[in-house]
Structure 1
């Protein structure tokens, strides 16, 4: 159990006095819980071996105490504030021509986020996987980055650490290039029931994978690890920001079907014991 006198895991200088740090950005990780004031409720699923552990009921996305200092928490808030527009408003931006939607095959389109702050979105994704890796929350016990990779993400993030948006943007402008680890982002073109999604952190390695409510994220150490089927739709350079848009059925089949099947099996087995 970490204490407020422990050192911040990001800057490794200041005391980690911040409480209730969100591991996932709140703006992409709470819709599945339902609207505020409606008895928000969900489950976290920490691995493919769901039957071994009873899913934990949650009413907010995962938070942890004493992993960050106030400065580093503010820095992550800057990254989230800049990036949120892309994730929340991509449909509107396609409609107004800021982003380009390309049809690939049946049930798969790709959005080119032309006007997005692409470097910041890379750093945001790095921060999500780094936070998951350093977290002691049970949801993330099966997603641990290789130690050298975790450190590379940390030092990259620290290059641009600033508590204020303008200072951060000035730092990024003065040093616009950093090491790119390929990423893939997925979502669905619609959700009939937005509370039917989940937070799912399966065991994964090259790529590391996370399902965060309406978005799926993959992080690769090198482009050589990318399977051919998605190679053209991943982000591999500083100028890339693509989002794969699945049909609602493909999203369910790819990300939700297996966890739901295991949850249903668990419910039946528990019922038999009553």
Structure 2
């Protein structure tokens, strides 16, 4: 078990003195874990459905992974993402910050006023944290050590302690990241069939994360000559304009419903194999 005497896993120079670091940024899970009786959160695994699941009041946190400086840096990445994408995409007054392409089941928003390097660093921070942390949600999420180190180096190159410093640091800079990706969101956030955070485990080459109102699909080492199952809109070239998928409500709900069926099928197979019985969630 890590302690405050261990080194920060990101900078590898300062003491990892930060406690209660969110693995998945808290603003992403805010819609999952509301206050009062309006919503409750639960953690569960498809191979432990014979055990009671307890309500949770906050998304996963872990101690002694980061130093205070690196935690602040991740806070900068999250703030920039919220200010430049998460909030404007929902604001009808700010729709002109994006160029829009209509497709049958979705729209494509081109992030013309957003430095693509900033978004790539933010997504990298989520993937990296998921790979190095060991909480309930991410403990089975694994990546190749070389991939984790490549992401760490990318993140460290632009480490900053404030938004102004960060913007100055990335201005005019280029970086090639070890993954291509899609990021999908939905405008009708209050009308979805279900809220969840789910990580595709053992995704050394390609996989996905359901992050409440976002779905991140990623493809590592896209130019290694291997056939890929996942097609992505955005390359690892930080100079390219980011394309964000904005799904229509019916298509989004279909994705979530299909995932729920897959969870249920896997859980049932586990119970059948182990001769166990499902235990309902605690209320």
TM-score bracket, shorter-length normalisation: 0.7 to 0.9
Counterpart secondary structure, 1:115: coil
Cα offsets for 1:195-245 (capped at 9, x unmatched): 8311111225222321111111122223357858744x3344322311112
Instruction: Find the aligned partners of 2:10 and 2:156 in 1 and give their Cα distance.
Output: 7
Q: How far does residue 62 in structure 1 lie from its aligned partner after superposition?
A: 1.1
* Residues 1-274 of structure 1 mapped to structure 2, 5 A cutoff: 1-34=1-34, 36-38=35-37, 41-46=40-45, 49=47, 51=49, 54-85=52-83, 86-92=85-91, 96-105=95-104, 107-173=105-171, 176-180=173-177, 181-193=179-191, 196-205=194-203, 206-224=205-223, 230-231=231-232, 233-238=233-238, 239-259=240-260, 262=263, 269-270=278-279
With structure 2 as the length reference, what TM-score do the two structures score?
A: 0.82
Range with bigger deviation, 21-30 or 92-101 = 92-101
Q: Secondary structure at the match of 2:220?
A: coil
3-state SS in 2 of match to 1:259: helix
In structure 1, what is the Cα distance between the partners aligned to 2:252 and 2:227? 19
Partner-residue secondary structure (3-state), 2:171: helix
Structure 2 gaps, min length 5? 269-276
Corresponding pairs, count: 266
Relative to structure 1, the CA distance from residue 39 to residue 108 in structure 2 (aligned partners, 3 Å threshold; closer, same or farther) is closer
Could you tell me how far apart the structure 2 residues matched to 1:94 and 1:100 are? 14
Higher helix residue share? 1
- CA change 1:9–1:93 in 2 (3 A) is farther
- The alpha-carbon distance between structure 1 residues 248 and 137, as it changes in their structure 2 partners (threshold 3 A), is same
What SS is found at the alignment partner of 1:234? Answer: coil
Query: Does the 8 A contact of 2:43 with 2:137 survive in 1?
Result: yes
Per the TM alignment, residue 45 of structure 1 is displaced from its structure 2 partner at its CA by 4.4
- Cα 1:218/1:55, change in 2 over 3 Å: farther
Distance (whole Å) between structure 2 residues aligned to residue 226 and residue 194 of structure 1: 33
C-alpha distance 173-258 of structure 1, shift in aligned 2 (>3 A): closer
* Contact 1:51–1:262, Cα closer than 8 Å, also in 2: no
Cα distance change of structure 1 residues 195 and 252 upon mapping to structure 2, 3 Å threshold = closer
Q: Contact 1:45 / 1:199 at 8 angstroms: preserved in 2? A: no
CA gap of 1:50–1:212, structure 2 versus 1, over 3 A, is farther
Q: Deviations over 1:7-31 (max 9, x none)?
A: 1000001110001111111122221
- Structure 1 residues 201 and 161: alpha-carbon distance in aligned structure 2, compared to 1, 3 A threshold: same
Q: Distance in 1 between matches of 2:200 and 2:54?
A: 15
Checking the alignment, whether the CA contact within 8 Å between 2:50 and 2:278 is kept in structure 1 is no
Moved more, 156-165 or 255-264: 255-264
Q: In 1, distance between residues paired with 2:176 and 2:15? A: 28
Q: 1:203 to 1:54 in 2, by over 3 A?
A: farther
When normalised by structure 1's length, the TM-score is 0.85
